[in-house]
Chains A and B, each alone.
Chain A
Amino acid sequence: MRCEVLFPEVCHLCGDGMNIRYLRQSCEAVEVIETPLNSRPVFLDGGVDLVYLGSATEDGLRRIVASLLPYRQEIEQRIDEGQWMLLTGNALDALGEYVDCDDGWRLDGLGLLPTHAEYHMMDRHNSFFLGTFEDGDFSTEIVGFKSLFGHTYGAGQEDPLFTLVRGVGRYPGCGVEGFRRNHLMATYLTGPLLILNPPFTGWLLRQLGCDGAPAFEEAAMENYRRRLEEFHDLHRDPLY
Chain B
Amino acid sequence: MRMGKLRFLLALWAAKLSIPALKITRHNGTDFPGFLALKLCPDFLRYAGKPDTVVAVTGTNGKTTVSNMLSDALEALGHRVLTNRAGSNIISGISTAFVRNCDLLGRVRRCDIAVLEVDERSSPRIYPHVKPDLVVLTNLFRDSIMRNAHPYYIADILTRSIPAGAKLILNADDLISCSVCPDNARAYFGVGRMESDVTDCVNLIDDVRICPCCGGKLTYAYRRYHHIGKARCDACGFASPESDYLARQVDLSGRTMTVQEGESSFAYRLSSDSIFNAYNTLSVVAALRQLGYEHEKIVPVLENITVSSSRHSEETVGKVRLIRQMSKEKNALAGSRAFDYIAGRAGRKELLLMMNCLGDTRHWSENTCWIFDADFEFLNDPSIVQIVCAGARCRDYKLRLLMAGVPEDRILCEDDEFRAAERLSYTPGDDVYLLYGTDSLERAYRVYDRMKAYALERAQADEEANA
Contacts and interface: CB of A to CB of B under 8 A. Distances in A.
A59 to B, nearest CB: 7
Contact of A124 (B146, B205, B206, B395): B146
Given A18-B403, A21-B403, A236-B365, A124 B147 contact: yes
Interface in B382-416: 395-396, 398-399, 402-403
A230 B363 CA distance: 10
B367 interface: yes
Interface residues of B, number: 33
B402 A216 contact: yes
A38 B215 contact: yes
A237 interface: yes
B104 interface: no
A171 interface: no
A219 B373 contact: no
B365 A22 contact: no
A236 B363 contact: yes
Interface string B176-216: 00000000000000000000000000001110011000010
A219 B369 contact: no
A189 to B, nearest CB: 10
Interface stretch (B47-55, B148-156, B451-459): B148-156
Nearest to A10: B210
Contacts of B396: 223
A145 B402 contact: no
Given A128-B365, A236-B363, A149 B149 contact: yes
A215 B145 contact: no
A227 B372 CA distance: 16
Interface string B321-343: 00000000000100000000000
B368 interface: yes
Interface string A1-44: 00000000110111101100110010000000000111000000
B203 to A, nearest CB: 11
A15 B332 CA distance: 9
B158 to A, nearest CB: 14
A129 B131 CA distance: 42
Interface string B426-462: 0000000000000000000000000000000000000
Contact of B150 (A15, A57, A216, A237): A57
Interface in A115-156: 121-122, 124, 126, 128, 145, 147, 149
A21 B403 CA distance: 8
Given A124-B147, A226-B395, A37 B369 contact: no
Nearest to A239: B364
A231 B396 CA distance: 15
A58 B151 CA distance: 11
A223 B152 CA distance: 32
Interface string A201-240: 0000000000000011001101100110011000111001
B399 A223 contact: yes
Contacts of A10: 209-210
A45 to B, nearest CB: 23
Nearest to A130: B365
Contacts of B403: 18, 21-22, 25, 195, 215-216
A63 interface: yes
A59 B204 contact: no
13 contacts: A9-B209, A9-B217, A10-B209, A13-B142, A14-B373, A25-B403, A58-B153, A147-B149, A219-B395, A223-B396, A223-B399, A237-B364, A240-B146
Question: Sorted from nearest, which 8 A-B pairs have the closest CB atoms?
Answer: A15-B372, A191-B369, A223-B395, A18-B372, A9-B209, A145-B367, A230-B365, A15-B369
Interface of A: 9-10, 12-15, 17-18, 21-22, 25, 36-38, 57-59, 63, 121-122, 124, 126, 128, 145, 147, 149, 190-192, 195-196, 215-216, 219-220, 222-223, 226-227, 230-231, 235-237, 240
Interface of B: 124, 142, 145-147, 149-150, 152-153, 204-206, 209-210, 215, 217, 332, 363-365, 367-373, 395-396, 398-399, 402-403
